[in-house]
Structure 1
Amino acid sequence: MTGRKVKAEECLRIGLCEIVVPEGQARQSAEDMAQEISRFPQACMRADRRSVYLQNGQGEHAALVQEWYNCNGVFNAEGAVGAARFAHGNGRHGDFSKIS
């Protein structure tokens, strides 16, 4: 908002980014992350994307209500399957390598 440049380490510390990669490796890292994300259940990914668009400009409470209604069908359809996978260790500690 102020136009102040924020260094990568500060972005990481305050949660504006998930990882910091060495110079020259940003594209490969982004492609790797995109590949990982593409393995997540598509209905969940679409619901998350839809939530981002629908919540634009809403206050926190209204955005959370919108999130609930937007994702409720996905939770009912895929939640039990995903929870069972997690209970068996898939996806724990940020390891999504076994998610298909």
Structure 2
Amino acid sequence: MDDGHAKVKMNEVEKYIDDTRFAWIGGNEDTSVYYYRIQSPGILIEFDHQRPVATKKLYGSDVHRQHIRAVVRKPNGNDYGKDLLKQHYKEHPHNK
């Protein structure tokens, strides 16, 4: 993200700092797996170690540190369930 956009995002994060909540589940050792969530009216961040899908042969099927999921969203950003690709094609036609 460029500096200007980052500044706008950080201003929004700071605006809701008193309404920001943090949750942690898991261990705190260097090798531990864990999940955390940071949530406010202005931002939602999640990080999670997950069971592997494509790397089962390498790491087995247990949760491990080599397979993660991370999400950064704006709560109520009005993009849940939207077909963003369809919307893009509608607004910006492409020649076939």
- What interval of TM-score do these two structures reach, taking the shorter chain for normalisation? under 0.3
Q: Which has the higher helix share?
A: 1
| Structure number with higher relative contact order (C-alpha < 8 Å, ≥ 6 residues apart) | 1
Structure 1 length as normaliser, TM-score?
0.24
Rg (Cα) greater in structure: 2
In the superposition, the TM-score normalised over structure 2's length comes to 0.25
Structure with bigger strand share is: 2
